[in-house]
């Protein structure tokens, strides 16, 4: 996969729009998670606007790649990205978490079929993704043309069920399974290394027979290169540990675990939107 300067600029613009939509949604809802969705905007942008095989006109296309969102609480960035890609109208984003809305606080496939799975209880997504990849192997064998991307939080790695799925995938070796960990080092109660240390994280995944990559989750060149390498590994699944800044793009929110599970007020949201509109120097440098 080749990332030209023109394409990189396009992705940067898309990511900024997605972050703006996330802020607008959360302000309107007066509820939801801020840090994770802003931190993962670049990865979602790279996936939906350059990497994933999908078709807006055929959302149920059988050969589409699958994106399984394990950390369902960051769904505002999923909804905002899908709207930016044309799967739903942007005005629907403002119904986030409202009664009767398709856009629940955690994705619910019954209400929102564009989500590949329902998610909410942390630690479930990787098991779902492993099962989907193995079922695809049974159905299509070596002829499968799709990849399964499981997006996960680092905090959910404290769940034992995650490691059962890691172990099974290491045994069965579905090469078209790519896990992407949002390594932002925070969770609702504080920093992960204080709540329940995860390091040495890369070594743990290697011990279970995964191909392991570590990247800057805000660097589009590194995101593209990692996915390209993962696709070229044919004897095991790949995990990409993406180091991100929670609350990325808004100085007041960045790196603070307190923003894990709370939305900005209207005043805070207006300030954040203004910061994103100005295309500040920090975003230019990233």
Tens of pLDDT, residue by residue over 222-269, are 999 999 999 999 999 999 999 999 999 999 999 999 999 999 999 999
Q: Which helix H or strand E contains 180, and what residues bound it?
A: strand 177-183
239 membership: H or E segment, kind and range: strand 238-243
Give me the residues paired with residue 214 across strands.
241
- pLDDT band of residue 216 (cuts 50, 70, 90) is very high
Mean pLDDT on 173-180: 97
Domains recognised in the chain with CATH numbers: 5-285 (3.40.50.970)
Please tell me the pTM assigned to this model. 0.95
Q: What confidence score (pLDDT) does residue 121 get? A: 87
For residues 122-131, give the mean pLDDT.
96
Give pLDDT tens digits for 61-84: 999 999 999 999 999 999 999 999
In the predicted model, is pLDDT for residue 26 greater than 60? yes
Query: 77 is written with which tokens?
Result: 């960035």
Please answer whether residues 282 and 250 qualify as being in contact, where contact means their C-beta atoms are separated by less than 8 angstroms. no
Residue identified by tokens 């570590």 is 214
pLDDT at 278 over 80: yes
Question: In terms of C-beta distances under 8 Å and separation of at least 24 residues, what long-range contacts does 102-107 make, across chains too?
Answer: 103/75, 103/79, 104/75, 105/31, 105/32, 105/73, 105/75, 106/72, 106/73, 106/75, 107/69, 107/72, 107/75, 107/78
């Amino acid at each position: 996969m080749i990332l030209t300067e023109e394409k990189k600029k396009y992705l940067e613009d898309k990511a900024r729009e997605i972050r703006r939509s996330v802020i607008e949604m959360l302000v309107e809802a007066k509820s939801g998670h801020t840090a994770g969705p802003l931190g993962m905007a670049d990865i979602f942008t790279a996936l939906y606007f350059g990497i994933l095989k999908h078709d807006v006109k055929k959302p149920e296309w059988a050969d589409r790649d699958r994106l399984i969102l394990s950390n369902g609480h960051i769904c505002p960035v999923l909804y905002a990205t899908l709207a930016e890609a044309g799967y739903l109208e942007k005005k629907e984003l403002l119904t986030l978490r409202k009664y009767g809305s398709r856009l629940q606080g955690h994705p619910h496939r019954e209400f929102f079929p564009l989500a590949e799975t329902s998610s909410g209880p942390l630690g479930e997504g990787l098991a779902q993704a492993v099962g989907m990849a193995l079922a695809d192997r049974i159905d299509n064998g070596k002829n499968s043309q799709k990849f399964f991307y499981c997006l996960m939080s680092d905090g959910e790695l404290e769940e034992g069920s995650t490691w059962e799925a890691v172990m099974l995938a290491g045994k069965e070796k579905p090469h078209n399974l790519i896990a992407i960990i949002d390594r932002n080092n925070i969770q609702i109660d504080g920093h992960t290394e204080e709540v329940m240390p995860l390091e040495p994280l890369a070594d743990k995944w290697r011990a279970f027979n995964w191909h392991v990559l570590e990247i800057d989750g805000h660097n589009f060149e590194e995101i593209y290169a990692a996915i390209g390498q993962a696709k070229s590994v044919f004897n095991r699944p790949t995990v990409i540990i993406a180091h991100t800044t929670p609350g990325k793009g808004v100085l007041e929110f960045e790196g603070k675990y307190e923003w894990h599970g709370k939305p900005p007020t209207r005043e805070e949201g207006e300030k954040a939107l203004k910061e994103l509109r100005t295309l500040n120097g920090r975003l230019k440098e990233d």
